[in-house]
Amino acid sequence: MPNPKRRHSPPRRGKRRSHHALDLPAFSLCPNCGNPKMPHRACPHCGWYRGRQVIEAEE
């Protein structure tokens, strides 16, 4: 079985893990109602996209 010859050092392990951080999902504020919404999606709160109502508003 192939096995590592020796253990990697802590700095080397840290350099590998420096790429592992997650970032927050992108969002923007709806220009119609001001609620957070996903970019390039109709607002889930008021149903607006590009300045007009495109889907039924929730509730």
CB of 24 to Zn ion, least distance (A): 20
Say how many residues touch Zn ion, by CB under 5 A: 6
- Single-letter code of the amino acid located at 14: G
Q: Contact between 45 and Zn ion (CB under 5 A)?
A: yes
DSSP three-state, residue 28: strand
Distance from C-alpha of 34 to C-alpha of 48, rounded to nearest angstrom: 11
Residues 5-34 that bind Zn ion (CB under 5 A): 30, 32-33
Q: Contact between 42 and Zn ion (CB under 5 A)?
A: no
CB-side exposure of 21: number of CA atoms within 13 Å? 5
Residues that bind Zn ion (CB under 5 A): 30, 32-33, 43, 45-46
